[in-house]
Structure 1
Amino acid sequence: MNAGRWPIYVGMAAIVQLLTACSNEPATSNGAVPSAQLQNGAAPIADGKLILAFGDSLYAGYGVAQNESFPYRLEQALRAKGLAAQVHNAGVSGETSLGGMQRLAFTLDGLPRKPDLLLIDLGGNDMLRGLQPEESEKNLRAILDELKRRQIPVLLTGMRAAPNMGAEYGAKFNAIYPRLAKDYDLSLYPFFLDGVIGDAKLMQADSIHPNPAGVNVIVGKITPIVMKSLG
């Protein structure tokens, strides 16, 4: 969407504090969500598709009920289309690309088996903290290298820089996800909050996280791409 339609952000310090302190999920010492929470409360599907949603608060479900989170609603949407699937929620609120890189192997090794698809949503907190895009890209490449080594297919859900980060920063940051998708031959959903951010009916009061209606919009857009990625 056009960045000019983004809402006016509150002070950057307040945003960073919100995203880094708002975790609803207790974490292990490695920063990963405990395995019991990865199950979405459902029994494992032996002959179905296993999907891992690996990211930050946008995946974790900050501000919404567990059954209103993106991974849960995605699982329900896939099942409604006849696809036996289980979507494990490995989102951690406040997560940066560095944190994701550090907990990736731990998270993967804690799964019952190798995922059929891994969705990645990382980098938004890097941007809000003003971290250098080059460092974010370096961390994301390390994640993708490990997933390539393990032969795990990836769907990359991208993020866009907030307008108040400036044009130069925005150009560098926004180029990360298309470049990674090209270099690693990945499926790409360019902007996770596309069609949602800037619409008060679809966003929580913080103007950063989608509400349940917003989650439904995102799921509706991403579900066909997930199904195509699963073949």
Structure 2
Amino acid sequence: MKIALIGYGKMGKTIERIAQERGHEIVSIIDIDNQNDFESDAFRSADVAIEFTIPKVALENYKRAFAAGVPVVSGTTGWSEKLPEVKADVEKNGYTLFWSSNFSLGVNVFMAVNKYLASLMNNFTDYSVEMTEAHHIHKLDAPSGTAITLAEGIIEKMDRKTAWVKEAATKPEELVIKSIREGEVPGMHSIRYESDVDVITITHDSKNREGLALGAVIAAEFTAGKKGFLGMNDLLKLG
């Protein structure tokens, strides 16, 4: 399969290596200094583009890839308020976008466990719930896209929570997400339920970026030849 890379930082380089190890060809690499390559024959020849950049440029990257007729797999977060608009645009125009806030298999299993636990804890109102997430100092968005997805899963399953907030709640129906940025932490997400008598905690702690990069390449393999807005539930069938 022919793959284009959009963004060539640490994640892009890891994706490049894993894609090549799986027998794929990298036909184009687009970074900040060669934006005109979106219009190149090399980029247009790609079966799929994998995009890991920053929030302020991600949506424009999608548009330029779509204009070139190239499907996109993206893990850029920090723009989720635009998600309904992007989904509608993809479906209306017959584009292909596979987006996930996290491509790790373990994280997506964790997300399914999170929803199941929230549905159980919905019946036990003596428990409070909050989340803590930690990432490296280079991560620009806080809370992380994964934390927001986890929070949305809790809100979906728990009647007493209706919205997430950063750092501190002012209303009992708010779910607190605490964000830590330190060192080179790949990513940690922990959800804590506490009552007067005990604490229940579930945690996912990434060891490195390898799982994210591998998941992105597997998503690209899945996405090639498909249409519409896709995600990890489509790939992994976790429900």
Query: Scaled by the length of structure 2, what TM-score is found?
Result: 0.42
- Please state which structure has a larger fraction of its residues in helix: 1
More strand by share: 2
TM value normalised by structure 1: 0.44
